[in-house]
Amino acid sequence: MNFTKMHGLGNDFIIVSGETTLPAGVDQTAIELCNRYFGIGADGLVFILPSEQADYMMRIINSDGSEAEQCGNAIRCVSKYVYDHGMIDKTEITIETIGAGVQKVQLHIQDGKVATVRVDMGEPVLQGLQVPTTIDRNPVIDYPIEVDGQQFRFTAVSMGNPHCVIYVEDAVNFDLAAWGPKLENHPMFPKKINVEFVTVKSRDFTDMRVWERGAGPTLACGTGACATLVSSVLNGYTERKATVSLKGGDLFIEWNEADNHVYMTGPAAEVFKGSL
């Protein structure tokens, strides 16, 4: 099996193309290959597969063997891969995901390669039970949650995968390891959840750090950045266009009022190739 190592702002993936379906035992394969000491090392294992509805389909297996419904950084990597490797020759493409359906992607080319990718991430889901949470509200904004005697307040957003956004005084130095796994596995979230800790710096700029469901702390999360912008608009903290600054770099996010879709723009990079 040939693979390519790629990343979107440090959120890294093992990209595999040429398969027609997910191989048997892919959960264990992902655990082994994503191990940073005994494997290749990555936040997830991504397969580029044929699609009947789009140009290609993307399937993402997290480093713990679970499958993610969607991943904003991975879709940028996949989009760059299919263009740079000659699998497609147009700059407007579609990628199918299991959580957010078919997503439209615009490729920005520089010197014959994809430099940045703009993804139509679709409409955010705000109904609490659909995110899913156990809360029957639409939307779930500034809602209290308690873990180990500590109370937080969160806003729930699904971008094809579930997120809870929590505002803190200093997201950059927040203790992800202490609170991330406890919130991810809280009974209020029946399918677990991605947790974003956010500090609003201005009406068009936020700091965000993320604990990803199934992967732990990562340097960036595209869907998390989208959820952060949606949450920040709902809470009255930012405008509908803002830069979300992550540990691995910045993403520009827009929640378009006309079509209610969220648009994400950012880079992707190829690191190396190999074979197993």
Active-site residues: which are they?
A: 71, 221
Of 227, 169, 165, residue with least CA distance to 200? 169
Q: In angstroms, rounded to a whole number, what is the distance separating the alpha carbons of residues 59 and 74?
A: 9
Tokens of 166: 């929590």
Question: What does residue 28 show for φ and ψ, rounded to 5 degrees?
Answer: -70, -35
**Which residue in the block uniquely carries the two structure tokens 């991330």?**
180
CB contact at 8 A, 141 and 168:
no
CB contact at 8 A, 16 and 30:
no
222-247: b (≥16 Cβ within 10 Å) or e: bbbbbbbbbbbbbbebbeeebbbbbb
Residues in the chain: 276
Eight-state DSSP code of residue 130: G
